[in-house]
Structure 1
């Protein structure tokens, strides 16, 4: 019988399987600032030229360089429409920190860009002062570079900073960086009142950033760990854009297997009715959430129709996007 992979080999296998599946989306970011990578089935992809795990499309790229401390945490959280699901890619709080810059900062040519043609473009940190992620933009056009340089040394949202008002019009590449890799987004930034495009995109939400959180309070991340990215396998009742689809039992069972392998055993036991007690490090909030998820899943599995809108779950997603 084949023995299960353990340690770094198991994590590498998890990442490789997720990258191979066009139905799986990715996120990299923090609470209030997140970059998402996804691709369509059959969409042309290019391998990365330097051996990193990942791929590039015409709309974006993902490049992973997992470190030994990387810990996947599979979880589900309740929402009005039922539940979200993801595998958070976490690092110890003591070793996850990135630049922590609080002002727009020029970083020079992006020599680690996913595509070779982007490596002479200039990278700028937007100065959001996030713990585990540097939210950056990258530009090659002289006008865009000049505008970004005019904002260097100032907070992005400071009145008078020329970068903020012109960022949408310039639509530079967005490049979000963490210790385990990067997500790049090439699609234009939607204008005021616009919606996120299908495919790779980013969200920067100042109201959520002001909380200083690394993830949503409803996301059950173990103490001492910080999510910096996430894997988002195909959801049982919605597509990648959050639109409702017919309940897919195969998708449901696939994530339950990931939950068994990478989830919190105490929360799984509570969800499945093996225990009513809250013990160990499980909070009352997360225990209640597990029970709510169990109730919602039972209704879907019985074939009941839940009349609830599937809205934009960015508040949940901002931890590692659910």
Structure 2
């Protein structure tokens, strides 16, 4: 468990690292500004709380981190998926809005008396909830029948400070207490995406039998926390490559090294995922991430994309 604790603790300590918890199409995100005050949780849980929200995580022996990179047009993304065995997820989730009582697991003591409602979206990976002590919000939600969509009306109440959002799952929770200037906490659950019924994006190389329930989003070498381009940051690239070596798919790493001219060709036919790993290698080499590959003539044109 110590390697898992080290992974989570180091990510929590980095203000440039973001987090998400939920499923494909329904997730809460926790981010903070570098100068934003953040406090460790008082009850011993791994996590942080800011004025705008927070995150709490609990480690499990069956937790499997999966680090991966995905080629995008003109660039790439990266993340560490925190996965659990599919057969360990709970049974059918609530499909009607349900009052759960005071939120005793709230990250801040002052929120523990507010009333928690599961919105009834019926997701195995996460309960999408709201929390409030505003009489008008409580009355409206108690009148609701069936599931309650995370719509503009709820977001308007969130912006007005009349409620908070809580996404709670098998590994912990992310709370969104206020929306403000990014980077910061946010949440989304568009019905059109949820109807697809996916657990993760098709481009994420999640091993069979595992389901992502949260993600770590380390700082990117070419984009800041707002997604704006910046000059290549070698330290951010090196930091994620270390995670990829420790928690990534060895087969995809072998294909990446082969594309860079730094290793032999793997002994199996290429497939969609191996070609994706090679595209990431090509894009990164074009950015100057691997000067040793460039010296061997392995760096591709900068126009390599995932199209």
Work out whether 1:156 is the aligned partner of 2:141: no
SS of residue in 1 equivalent to 2:174? strand
- The structural deviation recorded for 1:96 is 2.5
Asked if 1:215 corresponds to 2:200, the answer is: yes
Pair 149,28 (structure 1): closer, same or farther in 2 beyond 3 Å: same
Would you say the 8 A contact 2:182–2:226 is kept in 1?
no
Gaps of 5+ in 1: 1-7, 158-162, 190-195, 310-322
Deviates more, 1:255-264 or 1:40-49: 40-49
Considering only aligned residues, what root-mean-square deviation do their CA atoms show, in Å? Answer: 2.3
Structure 2, unaligned runs of 5 or more: 259-263, 292-299
Q: Runs ≥4 in structure 1, deviation > 2 angstroms?
A: 96-99, 163-166, 274-279, 302-309
CA 1:121–1:300 in structure 2 vs 1: closer, same or farther (change >3 Å)?
same
Partner residue of 1:124 out of 113, 117, 121: 117
1:252 aligns with 2:242: no
Deviations 1:145-167 (A, max 9, x none): 1111111x41225xxxxx84631
TM-score relative to the length of structure 1: 0.83
Match of 2:223 in 1: 238
Post-superposition Cα deviations, 1:141-194, rounded to whole Å, max 9, x if no partner, equal: 11111111111x41225xxxxx846313222211111111111011249xxxxx
**1:197 CA displacement:** 4.1
Matched, 1:224 2:209: yes
Change (3 A) 1:55 1:305: farther
Number of residue equivalences: 287
Q: What is the SS of the residue equivalent to 1:12? A: helix
> Counterparts of 1:164 and 1:34 in 2: how far apart (Å)?
14
State TM-score, norm by structure 2.
Answer: 0.87
Q: Structure 2 vs 1, CA of residues 308 and 146 (structure 1 numbering), >3 Å: closer, same or farther?
A: farther
Aligned to 2:297: none
Quick check: which has more Rg, 1 or 2?
2
What is the aligned partner in structure 1 of residue 295 from structure 2?
A: none
